[in-house]
Structure 1
Amino acid sequence: MRLPLAVLLSLSLLAGCGGGGGRSAPVAPVAPSAVVAPNFGDADPHPETAIARNRHPVHGIDVARFQKSVDWATARANGVNFAFIKATEGGDRVDEMFDSHWRGAGRAGVRRGAYHFFYHCRAPEEQAAWFFRNVPRRSGDLPPVIDMEWTPDSPTCTIRRPAAEIRADAEVLIRLFTRHYGTAPILYTTVDFYEDNQMWKLRGTDFWLRSVAAHPSDRYPGQHWAFWQYTSTGLIPGIAGEVDINVFAGNQGEWADWLARRAQP
């Protein structure tokens, strides 16, 4: 059956803008310094999604074991400029996809950084040592990330310690990570964890904030942020299934300046 031209055009646009994980034809490599505009979709966009897309030119993703299939070259060509990759959790777990994602992002020219998922039942010194053992120091990589949030679904550790103790652990981790990697870590957190533990009391910290239903200024009033995780239902060519998408706070020039100051020396 011969389809009308309008239908053919619509199908073509859907094929180009979706987030299917199928392998595509080889794409030309993109330099790590180049900022590529996003060619993304979203399975469940919220009103601020358009603001994130239009106001912030530097987009990236975060991935872990849940992203089993990533064609990094295709993702890079479609606007993935940076990636935060889960490396470790607690003091004895390494994400099973870390090595694959780490190597793939590097080969594709994606600016990459590793993150550690904080475990509330281990000492911060032990967790830092475990991360250092598994994540190499490499000049030009993004600062490491400490992911601090509540863990109500953990099979082994659901405790909620006092806010002052949690902030003290964060300060220990920030000090140890800074000393080891030569640049201060980024702190990722969620709305409830941020509020419950008064995380704004941590000074001199670059925050990466999760806010998938509103702008960070609504959920974290007055808080400076470097990265905003604005959706967990993103669709990106080259990545099978849905993925978290993030934006950097500034424009392309500010991104270059931030990298010059904050990337690993």
Structure 2
Amino acid sequence: MRIALMLAALAFATLSCGRSTPPPQKVEAKAFLSTTSPSVIYPAFRDADPHDWDGRHPGHYPVHGLDVSRWQGPINWHQAKASGVSFAFIKATEGGDVADPLFDDHRRGAQAAGVPWGAYHYYYFCRPAHEQARWFIKNVPKGADLPHVLDMEWTPHSRTCRLRPDGATVRAEAKRFLDILERHYGRRPIVYTTVDFHGDTEIGRLRGTEFWLRSVAGHPHQVYPKSSWRFWQYTGTGLVPGVQGKVDINTFNGHPEAWARWKAGG
């Protein structure tokens, strides 16, 4: 009997050798509906261009979700949720006059499937913050499950706006936008940003602000030293059931109980 057990353990160790992420646990369709005993899931999404993570990697976090826009086309939100999608940030607007044509479809689809959602605004520095905030409010109704998002990054490929203001100006404009949305929706938005923008503008100095950081080739603590973060966008080439083609995948910084509290505004 002892020999049989030793052989079984050896076989298991051999099969597990070289695994870079923890084995995924069973995905439950009603995950995170309970704030007292939320289910634990580790969705195993595929990636068209996977990174060879060194050290702590996305697989250590149980709560994962998407950010989407018209480029993803129609989404089967029920299928996405069943695969382990726990939240979605949906593009609504950019600048002061562009609205994503699939925002309402994505929003209603996520709601129907029970996927918590928030909207995001892509910022351009050729318009004042108050005009962009008004445009967002005009297009995004109240009732989101999550805080909305201010997406701030450089726009070097834009045909209409490539301005790169200094850090003080960037932070002042961001604060105006966040203040206006907080007054209207009742919860302060998150700021999404990239490595170069974060370093160039010191946007992380904004007080009372939570951050969503992009880092597809290293953990945020390596890429954004000493910076706190609420969400981490760890790939732009994810493959998720229910979504056509590649999609951004993100993880929440915390366990399911923390996610349930934060989502509820705690």
Q: TM-score, normalised by structure 1?
A: 0.84
Contact kept? 1:38, 1:53, Cα under 8 Å? no
| Structure 2 residue 220 is the aligned partner of structure 1 residue 216 | yes
Deviations 1:96-133 (A, max 9, x none): 11111111111111010000000110010000000001
- What is the distance in 1 between the residues matched to 2:158 and 2:54? 30
Alignment-derived partner of residue 44 in structure 2: 39
Unaligned runs of 5+ in 1: 1-27
Alignment-derived partner of residue 234 in structure 2: 230
Alignment-derived partner of residue 199 in structure 1: 203
Partner of residue 160 from structure 1, selected from 146, 158, 164: 164
Contact kept? 1:58, 1:252, Cα under 8 Å? yes
Deviations 1:14-36 (A, max 9, x none): xxxxxxxxxxxxxx964662655
* Other structure's SS at 1:122 match: coil
* Other structure's SS at 2:70 match: coil
Contact kept? 2:150, 2:191, Cα under 8 Å? yes
- What is the distance in 2 between the residues matched to 1:56 and 1:50? 13
Identity %: 53
Letter in 1 for 2:89: F
- What is the distance in 1 between the residues matched to 2:202 and 2:52? 27
Letter in 2 for 1:185: P
Aligned residues: 234
Contact kept? 2:58, 2:234, Cα under 8 Å? no
Alignment-derived partner of residue 105 in structure 1: 110
Partner of residue 63 from structure 2, selected from 50, 55, 58: 58
| Structure 2 residue 93 is the aligned partner of structure 1 residue 84 | no
Q: Please, which moves more after superposition, 92-101 or 35-44?
A: 35-44
How big is the shift at 1:252?
Answer: 0.3
Contact kept? 1:231, 1:246, Cα under 8 Å? yes
Contact kept? 1:52, 1:247, Cα under 8 Å? no
Contact kept? 1:68, 1:97, Cα under 8 Å? yes
How big is the shift at 1:65?
Answer: 1.1
Contact kept? 1:106, 1:112, Cα under 8 Å? yes
How big is the shift at 1:49?
Answer: 8.8
Alignment-derived partner of residue 9 in structure 1: none
Partner of residue 93 from structure 1, selected from 76, 98, 109: 98
Provide the aligned C-alpha RMSD in A: 1.7
- What is the distance in 1 between the residues matched to 2:257 and 2:228? 18
Letter in 2 for 1:39: A
Deviations 1:115-156 (A, max 9, x none): 000011001000000000110111x61001000000001110
Unaligned runs of 5+ in 2: 1-27
More relative contact order in 1 or in 2 (CA 8 Å, sep 6+)?
1
Letter in 2 for 1:88: T
* Other structure's SS at 1:81 match: strand
Q: TM-score, normalised by structure 2?
A: 0.84
Q: 1:131 to 1:32 in 2, by over 3 A?
A: farther
- What is the distance in 2 between the residues matched to 1:44 and 1:51? 18
Which one has the largest radius of gyration?
A: 2
Alignment-derived partner of residue 23 in structure 1: none
Alignment-derived partner of residue 20 in structure 2: none
